[in-house]
Amino acid sequence: MERAAVVESRRVLLGICGGIAAYKVCSVISSLAKGGTAVRAMLTQRGQAFISPLTVATLSRQPACTDETFWQPVQGRPLHIELGEWADLLVIAPLSANTLAKLAHGLADNLLTNTVLASTVPVLLAPAMNTDMWQQQAVQRNWHQLLQDERYHAIDPGAGVLACDRIGTGRMAEPEDILTHIDSLLHSQGRRDLRGKHLLISTGSTREHLDPVRFIGNPASGRMGIALAQAAIHRGATVTLVHGPLEEALRARLGGIKPVGVTTAEQMHRAMLTHLPLADWVVMAAAVADVRPTTQAATKLAKADLPDALPLAPVPDIVADLAQKRSPHQRLIGFAAQTGDIVPPALDKLQRKGLDAIVANPVDVEGSGFGGDRNQAVLLTRAGDKRAIPPCSKLSLAHQLWDALLQAGF
């Protein structure tokens, strides 16, 4: 049964509080606007001390809203009502300790806090403050109290050197992390429909070394599996990610995810079996090597010492072993990177490996497959469901896969 892709509304209302981290918001606004998302911004009085309304208006292509414009009606309607009803998502970045306290107690004494109360859409919070401020018992109490409300979603502050020269927790999340979470919430509309599920996901390539500098591998970067993990975390799941070697920039995307790093197929095999008992869904998105050299040199081989023919041995069939050892309630989803007509070999793998579903994606089509941030796929289930997902970001593809699997009763 074919299903159409979800059409997302993309209207983001951004609230900017006082804090040096406000400069990071410029990148968020610019990226959203350039990507076709409608963006409007509100600045608190303290927020204007760090970033000007003119800057925000220029980047968003929309007039900036401030407390000075609070009581200027828009087509006869109060501004905070009009803004609250316009938005699909409200983002507050940076979130100050002062505004956090107001939100936790339902106070509304400026445009930003009034708009939050006049709206019902999800709210994404990205706090930023000095470490001692963040660790205050009162601030933590307000933070945890606010997050008990299902409407609020959080990006916890990171650790590092702060503007006050303190080293500790309090840095606002980086723009890329905020943008990823925004994309997730625009798609899911704040649903936590994977809450209570533990997902075990593999990603990236494995490497089978001949010597310390030569190996059999493939171009898989791990981006698809990371997108699957991020989308699942944003929808409430617990995720363990077993990954092959990753670039440092990709490692930075693993916030909230339990990472398990491996190199070889044998190591991935052991890690997947170790974490299998706790999983509800198991997703094999990794591109695992099929063979390995029968010998591995401890030091680099000279060119003259390289064998004319390389003896090879098969590596463990991880998917087949998982299918045999899983419990009846566990669901097993595979991936099939293919060239040409991708559906027939994926269907064969679905049946032969004992999978519940398989995701076939082309690696010979420009803008899809290994290495990039975009992909396309066909999802096939054992029950006969079929869903084609046209070219999109890997994060969007991940969300559409979770949508389809939930609809299929997984």
Each domain of the chain, given as residue ranges in start order, spans 11-188, 198-297+311-407
The pLDDT of residue 8? 61
pLDDT score at 7: 44
Asked if the domains at 11-188 and 198-297+311-407 fall in one CATH topology, the answer is yes
Please measure the distance between the N-terminal and C-terminal CA atoms of the chain and give it in whole angstroms.
16
Distance of CA 259 to the CA centre of its chain: 14
Tell me what pLDDT residue 165 has.
74
Rounded to the nearest 10°, the torsion over CA 42, 43, 45, 49 is: -160
Domain 11-188 CATH superfamily? Flavin prenyltransferase-like (3.40.50.1950)
Cα separation, 121 vs 152, in Å, equals 9
Pick the CATH number of 198-297+311-407 from 3.90.480.20, 1.10.3720.10, 3.40.50.10300, 3.30.479.10: 3.40.50.10300
How do residues 35-60 score in pLDDT, each as one tens digit? 999 999 999 999 999 999 999 999 99
Strand partners, 318: none
- Strand 281-284: give its sheet, edge to edge: 258-261, 238-243, 198-203, 281-284, 331-338, 357-362, 374-381, 386-393
Tell me the DSSP string of 337-360: EESSS-HHHHHHHHHHHT-SEEEE
Q: What is the pLDDT of residue 4?
A: 34
User: Among the options 17, 65, 164, 392, which is catalytic?
Assistant: 164
Entry pTM: 0.91
- Average pLDDT per 10 consecutive residues for the chain, totaling 410 residues: 48 96 96 95 96 96 93 84 96 97 96 97 96 94 96 90 78 94 96 97 95 91 96 97 94 92 96 97 94 92 89 93 95 93 94 95 85 92 93 96 95
pLDDT, position 82? 94
How many distinct helices (H) and strands (E) make up the chain?
14, 20
Active site residue 392: no
State the Cα–Cα distance between residues 96 and 331, nearest whole angstrom. Answer: 42
